[in-house]
């Protein structure tokens, strides 16, 4: 069980679309919007975990055209979300984000987040510690995963909020938002390259 918890920490803390986007939303829009979005990510992550545990994700991804369609949707949505973060508070450009991502946006991101499927697959198909009690093991894993997932994501949200509170010059804040958005896209690019 200790190995499972350690794997959770390392899989969650490493930058992926979820943590980077929640930091970006915190930086661009503050705590209230960031926490609403974060709870959407949490709900979406639990849905992904259930899809992995039930075998639904493996069945769906086994069909090539569905996998490719979901990949295209994932990239398109990540570009959209990255644009919202990059242009939050910006005075230039024609994509200025006036509305923060919401709860449903967090769910939508996790539904198409390649890292969420990979992390959940690794965690729920590996690290067996109750081989004779599958339901008990899955329940414990879900509880541990969520108990680790939530504080780490709130920590990333606070990083974003701290950047916002530094009262940086508008150009510096814009540069940070653009950096976070580009980081999200790099992570997605790496996930695509390793398909």
pLDDT at 150: 94
pLDDT of 53 strictly over 70: yes
User: 178-182: long-range contacts at Cβ-Cβ below 8 A with a sequence spacing of 24 or more?
Assistant: 178/86, 180/20, 180/21, 180/23, 180/24, 180/27, 180/85, 180/86, 181/24, 181/82, 181/83, 181/85, 181/86, 182/82, 182/86
pLDDT of 178 strictly over 70: yes
d(CA 86, CA 68): 27
pLDDT band at 92 (very low <50, low <70, confident <90, very high): very low
Q: Cα 8–107–104 angle (5° rounding)? A: 145
In tens, the pLDDT along 142-176 reads 999 999 999 999 999 998 888 878 877 878 877 87
pLDDT of 2 strictly over 80: yes
Residues composing the chain: 195
Work out the average pLDDT over 132-142. Answer: 91
Work out the average pLDDT over 45-67. Answer: 87
pLDDT of 93 strictly over 60: no
φ, ψ for residue 97 (rounded to 5)? -85, 115
- Whole-prediction pTM value? 0.75
Work out the average pLDDT over 27-31. Answer: 85
pLDDT at 95: 41
Question: Could you give the 3-state DSSP secondary structure of residue 115?
Answer: helix
Question: Could you give the 3-state DSSP secondary structure of residue 86?
Answer: helix
In tens, the pLDDT along 111-129 reads 888 778 888 888 888 888 8
Question: Cβ(97)–Cβ(88) under 8 Å?
Answer: yes
pLDDT of 193 strictly over 70: no
The total of other beta-carbon atoms located within 10 Å of residue 63's CB is 11
Whose CA is closest to 177, among 116, 62, 91?
A: 91
pLDDT band at 37 (very low <50, low <70, confident <90, very high): very high
List beta partners, residue 88.
97
pLDDT of 70 strictly over 90: no
């Amino acid at each position: 069980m200790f190995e499972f918890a350690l794997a959770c920490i390392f899989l969650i803390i490493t930058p992926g679309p979820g943590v980077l986007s929640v930091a970006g939303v915190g930086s661009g829009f503050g705590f209230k919007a960031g926490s609403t979005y974060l709870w959407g990510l949490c709900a979406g992550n639990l849905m992904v975990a259930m899809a992995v545990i039930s075998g639904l994700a493996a069945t769906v991804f086994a069909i090539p055209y569905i996998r490719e369609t979901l990949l295209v949707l994932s990239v398109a949505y990540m570009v959209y979300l990255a644009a919202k973060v990059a242009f939050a508070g910006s005075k230039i450009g024609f994509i200025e984000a006036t509305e923060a991502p919401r709860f449903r946006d967090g769910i939508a991101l996790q539904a198409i987040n390649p890292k969420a499927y990979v992390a959940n697959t690794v965690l729920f198909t590996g690290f067996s510690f109750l081989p004779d009690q599958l339901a008990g093991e899955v329940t414990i894993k879900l509880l541990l995963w969520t108990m680790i997932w939530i504080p780490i994501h709130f920590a990333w949200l606070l990083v974003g909020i701290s950047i916002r509170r530094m009262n940086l010059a508008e150009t510096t804040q814009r540069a940070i938002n653009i950096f976070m958005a580009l980081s999200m896209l790099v992570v997605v690019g790496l996930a695509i390259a390793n398909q």
